[in-house]
């Protein structure tokens, strides 16, 4: 097969991980007889520097013209002082919206080899951590109206609004149920229905959908309780579906309990097969240019792209198995080091994964 991939190299240490990921993709192409064509697209800090805009239309167009998009991570201290509209994150939000990517899939899965790095007690880790947060990505307070005005008494007031309509909830709700069907068949909808109208609308849509997925065990949980349960008993979760802001908070918490945030990929999809694939970690400005950043989450994001956008399950398995073998051999990057393991730099980790494919 021939596939066109738009590549957003990202900022700070991001190009280092993207470079290793492309080497891995090329190796897969060679081994399985595919052709991957890459088009560079600028977003975030790079785009601000080049065009004064974190995502100019011409760069978004490159992403829309591709079969899928690979992204490292954007942002860094250099761009932090800029006003809201011109910040790197704004480019990411506009990319998600511009590509219609309403479904963000964030796995929280512990690699047995890295279990000791989890901040949780071994007894809890031993019960298993393997769940997915399905986060709504282009609705809610991220995309509602934001306004700041001056009240009559002269003080300023800001108002952010959090809108959700039924079709936005239904499409992500279905992804939640369908994801659960392919796994342990448990779906938990997380919200704050004791306070928010949007949460109550979520529940009413979810109740309607529930009838269509009788094989899925469906439950509901308040977001504050969920923040506790993820730490107390993560084994209880299979698939969590939730709105944008809650998904942001809970998926970061969930990634941390795996102890290896440098290992966690993510996919963002919309109605078609074109997706955006990126590690959940940031651009790690503090270690940029030192060839020590962990490329694995980005490489695993590419594996997700092969699986979900290109239907290449075997190829995706090949990458994931390679990562597994590398871990089995005790090879680690600095972020994951533990006693008795060998510490590799970014390029050397890329080499090690390549060698197993």
Ligand X SMILES: CC(C)[C@H](C(=O)O)[C@@H](O)C(=O)O
Residues with catalytic function: 142, 192, 224, 248, 252
Binding mask 220-249 for ligand X (x = CB under 6 A): ----x-----------------------x-
Q: Which stretch binds a copy of itself (CB under 8 A): 9-17, 136-144, 322-330, 333-341?
A: 136-144
Tell me: does residue 146 bind a copy of itself (CB under 8 A).
yes
Q: What distance in Å separates the CA atoms of residue 72 and residue 293, rounded to the nearest whole number?
A: 12
In terms of DSSP bridges, do strands 2-8 and 217-222 run parallel, antiparallel, or are they unpaired? unpaired
CA angle 320, 322, 325 (to 5 degrees): 115
Nearer to a copy of itself, 205 or 346 (CB): 205
CB 251, min distance to a copy of itself, A: 8
Nearer to a copy of itself, 151 or 211 (CB): 151
Q: Which two tokens stand for residue 300?
A: 């695993």
Tell me: does residue 100 bind a copy of itself (CB under 8 A).
no
Q: Which residue bears the tokens 């074109």?
A: 274
Give bridge partners of residue 2 from the DSSP assignment.
Answer: 35
Map the footprint of a copy of itself across residues 227-266, applying CB under 8 A.
Answer: 227-228, 230-232, 245-246, 248-253, 255-257, 261
Q: Which residue bears the tokens 């520097």?
A: 49
Backbone dihedral region for residue 261 (phi beyond 0: left; psi -120 to 50: alpha; all else: beta): alpha
Q: Which two tokens stand for residue 149?
A: 């005005």
**Total residues binding a copy of itself (CB under 8 A):** 58
- Distances in whole angstroms, Cα of residue 242 to Cα of each of 65, 181, 207, 245, 295: 30, 17, 14, 8, 28
Residue 94, C-beta contacts closer than 8 angstroms, at least 6 positions apart: 54, 55, 60
Tell me: does residue 194 bind ligand X (CB under 6 A).
yes
The response to whether 290 counts as a known ligand-binding position is yes
Tell me: does residue 311 bind a copy of itself (CB under 8 A).
no
Residues annotated in a binding site for Mg(2+): 224, 248, 252
Interacting residues toward a copy of itself by CB under 8 A: 84, 87, 89, 93, 118-122, 124, 141-142, 144, 146-148, 151, 155-167, 192, 194-198, 200-201, 223-225, 227-228, 230-232, 245-246, 248-253, 255-257, 261
């Amino acid at each position: 097969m021939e596939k066109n991939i738009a590549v957003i190299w990202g900022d700070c240490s991001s190009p280092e991980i993207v470079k290793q990921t492309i080497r891995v993709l090329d190796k897969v192409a060679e081994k399985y007889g595919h052709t991957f064509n890459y088009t560079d697209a600028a977003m975030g800090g790079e785009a601000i520097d080049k065009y004064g805009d974190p995502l100019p239309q011409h760069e978004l167009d490159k992403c829309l013209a591709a079969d899928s998009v690979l992204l490292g991570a954007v942002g860094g201290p250099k761009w932090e002082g800029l006003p809201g509209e011109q910040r790197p994150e704004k480019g990411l939000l506009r990319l998600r919206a511009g590509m219609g990517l309403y479904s963000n899939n964030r796995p929280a899965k512990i690699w047995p080899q890295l279990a000791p790095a989890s901040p949780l007690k071994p007894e809890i880790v031993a019960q298993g951590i393997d769940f997915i947060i399905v986060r709504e990505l282009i609705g809610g307070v991220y995309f509602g109206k934001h306004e700041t005005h001056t009240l009559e008494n002269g003080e300023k007031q800001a108002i952010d609004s959090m809108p959700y309509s039924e079709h936005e909830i239904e499409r992500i709700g279905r992804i939640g149920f369908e994801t659960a069907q392919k796994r342990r068949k448990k779906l938990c909808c997380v919200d704050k229905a004791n306070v928010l109208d949007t949460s109550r609308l979520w529940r009413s849509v979810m109740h309607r959908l529930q009838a269509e997925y009788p094989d899925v065990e469906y439950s509901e949980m308040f977001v504050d309780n969920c923040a506790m349960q993820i730490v107390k008993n993560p084994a209880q979760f299979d698939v969590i579906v939730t709105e944008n802001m809650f998904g942001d908070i809970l998926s970061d918490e969930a990634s941390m309990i795996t102890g290896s945030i440098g290992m966690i990929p993510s996919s963002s999809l919309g109605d078609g097969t074109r997706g955006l694939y990126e590690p959940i970690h940031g651009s790690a400005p503090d270690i940029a240019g030192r060839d020590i950043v962990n490329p694995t989450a980005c490489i695993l994001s590419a594996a997700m792209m092969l699986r979900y956008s290109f239907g290449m399950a075997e190829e995706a398995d090949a990458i994931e198995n390679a990562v597994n073998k590398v871990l089995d051999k005790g090879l680690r990057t600095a972020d994951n080091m533990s006693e008795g393991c060998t510490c590799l730099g970014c390029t050397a980790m890329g080499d090690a994964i390549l060698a197993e494919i």
